Structure 1
Amino acid sequence: MKSLLRACAVPALSIALLSSAALTAAPSVAFAEADPAFAATTLSLSAYGEARADPDMATITLGVENTGPTAADAMQANAAQMNRVVAALKKAGLEPRDLQTSNLSLNPQYVYEQNQPPKLTGYQASNQVTVTVRDLGRLGAVVDAVVAAGATNVSNISFGLSNPVSAENTARIAAVKALQDKASLYANATGYRISRLVNLSEGGGTSIEPPRPKVFAMAARADAATPVETGQVKVRVDITGLFEMSH
């Protein structure tokens, strides 16, 4: 009787272990069936498209620097000179919305001699304004006018588009074409074909790369206009796509 009980106990234990293993494996099987990565072969790719366009606006930084024996003297001289520059900009037809102060500073000036403490010689005041010019044909004349009014610094010119949507859409179409071509290449190389586009996403935003002007210098003669080469701006759009492939 004891031997019969022992013989029956072993299969019962085996059945219990099998049941436990089956219960443990069940979630893994369900997860594999639910995860699309196990149900299909996918291909994730990135591509970009570019478009070029003629700029229709420019931004430029104009500045005035003055020195004086005291801080008040430097600031007063700077304010008077900058007021003349701003007046020249407005006379040239620029609207208040296109003028923005971008830097204002006052710094002490020292002379340094060996084995001597620094000696204060005065103060330097600086005022810079960023200007948006919406008529590029007048850009050189605007620069000449502000220099004649007292601007001592002209820098940081960049060109752009007042409405970049058309150029961005052209870049988007080029990006999609590049993405499709790349997907077809990978599919053919691996013996697959593209079944469908599962997901398509655009990057964090489009980027506009302004051209670098070939010439931007003060005219040497009073009757010569400052020459400016506008070139073209480059608009870029980045996208990412997920494709499903099949044999």
Structure 2
Amino acid sequence: MKTLVRAGALALLLATAAAAPAALAQTQPAGAASMFNATTLNLSAYGETRVAPDKATINLGVVTEAPTAAGALSANAEQMNSVIAALRKAGIAEKDIQTSGLNLSPQYDYVQNEPPKLRGYQASNQVTVTVNDLAKLGAAVDATVKAGANQVNGISFGLKDPSSAENAARLDAVKALSAKAALYAQATGHRISRLVSLSEGGGYNPQPPVPMMAYARMDKAESGGTTIAGGELSVRIDVTGLYEMTR
């Protein structure tokens, strides 16, 4: 009797295992097989918009030296206070002025075959300034230099709201992708049946600061002020599309 029960259980197990592949095949998504059997076209394209910047970021600072650390810091603070006051007077809001670096270091004189001799201390204070009105940019730079800023390390231009430029680039990217797909379909004797998937990359990336003189043309205008050319920014969107084609 036990032998019969065991034989029946074994037969049931074998029947279940045999039925499993069929069950899996029935639960497979209906569109999966048809997609792999279809002729597909995978393409990439991009759209690019050039737009004038509407804000700028400047990194500037004050470097001072004195025989003592306290003297170097005191002189630096006094000079930086004058610089910040000049920025505010030029129309830069307090929230757009941010300290980005503060350093104090000893300074040595080196003579061959002699130990280093302490000359004094150097204090450095750096601020990052956002200018939301580019018409004030040249005046702000001039004001800070006159007030005591002796370092202008870099400038970058940007957009307050890049969404319009990104959307324009998206439209150009999709148009370019569609045109490319139509060309490939015509060349291979097919027609585009449908767009299966669409993915996006790229977009607006804030420009990294670059040296002032290397980036912008700085001239002396008739008024004696500094003119800084902002030029244009490039906003690029990359798209990738998968198309299904039919004869």
Assess if the C-alpha contact under 8 Å between 2:196 and 2:241 holds in 1.
yes
1:67: Cα distance to partner?
0.9
1:28: Cα distance to partner?
9.2
Alpha-carbon distance between aligned partners in 2 of 1:112 and 1:26, rounded to the nearest angstrom: 85
1:111 to 2:109 alignment: yes
Counterpart of 1:236 in structure 2 is 236
Alpha-carbon distance between aligned partners in 1 of 2:33 and 2:203, rounded to the nearest angstrom: 30
1:131: Cα distance to partner?
0.9
Assess if the C-alpha contact under 8 Å between 1:197 and 1:243 holds in 2.
yes
Counterpart of 1:79 in structure 2 is 77
Alpha-carbon distance between aligned partners in 1 of 2:149 and 2:167, rounded to the nearest angstrom: 40
Task: Describe the superposition over 1:169-216 as per-residue Cα deviations: whole angstroms up to 9, x where unpaired.
Answer: 111101111111222233233332211111112226433558974413
Matches within 5 A, 1:37-76: 37-76=35-74
- Unaligned ranges ≥5, structure 2: 1-14
Task: Describe the superposition over 1:98-153 as per-residue Cα deviations: whole angstroms up to 9, x where unpaired.
Answer: 11111211122122222333222221111111111122112111111111100101
Counterpart of 1:135 in structure 2 is 133
Alpha-carbon distance between aligned partners in 2 of 1:166 and 1:108, rounded to the nearest angstrom: 50
Alpha-carbon distance between aligned partners in 1 of 2:33 and 2:115, rounded to the nearest angstrom: 74
Alpha-carbon distance between aligned partners in 1 of 2:221 and 2:151, rounded to the nearest angstrom: 16
1:155: Cα distance to partner?
3.0
Counterpart amino acid of residue 235 in structure 1: V
Counterpart of 2:217 in structure 1 is 215
Counterpart of 2:121 in structure 1 is 123
Counterpart of 2:227 in structure 1 is 227
Assess if the C-alpha contact under 8 Å between 1:42 and 1:245 holds in 2.
yes
Counterpart amino acid of residue 149 in structure 1: A
Change (3 A) 1:27 1:117: farther
1:43: Cα distance to partner?
2.1
Counterpart of 2:9 in structure 1 is none
Assess if the C-alpha contact under 8 Å between 1:213 and 1:231 holds in 2.
no
1:225: Cα distance to partner?
0.8
Counterpart of 1:180 in structure 2 is 178
Change (3 A) 1:36 1:120: farther
Counterpart amino acid of residue 117 in structure 1: P
Identity %: 58
Higher Cα Rg, which structure: 1
Counterpart of 1:147 in structure 2 is 145
Say which is worse superposed, 178-187 or 33-42, in terms of deviation.
33-42
- Unaligned ranges ≥5, structure 1: 1-18
Counterpart amino acid of residue 72 in structure 1: A
Assess if the C-alpha contact under 8 Å between 1:55 and 1:230 holds in 2.
yes
Assess if the C-alpha contact under 8 Å between 2:60 and 2:128 holds in 1.
yes
SS in 1 for 2:227: coil
Assess if the C-alpha contact under 8 Å between 1:89 and 1:145 holds in 2.
yes
SS in 1 for 2:228: coil
Relative to the length of structure 2, the TM-score reads: 0.79
Task: Describe the superposition over 1:15-40 as per-residue Cα deviations: whole angstroms up to 9, x where unpaired.
Answer: xxxx9xx8798689776973554232
1:194 to 2:192 alignment: yes
Counterpart amino acid of residue 232 in structure 2: Q
Counterpart amino acid of residue 230 in structure 1: G
Moved over 6 A (4+): 22-25, 27-33
Say which is worse superposed, 178-187 or 73-82, in terms of deviation.
178-187
Count of residue pairs brought into register by the alignment? 227
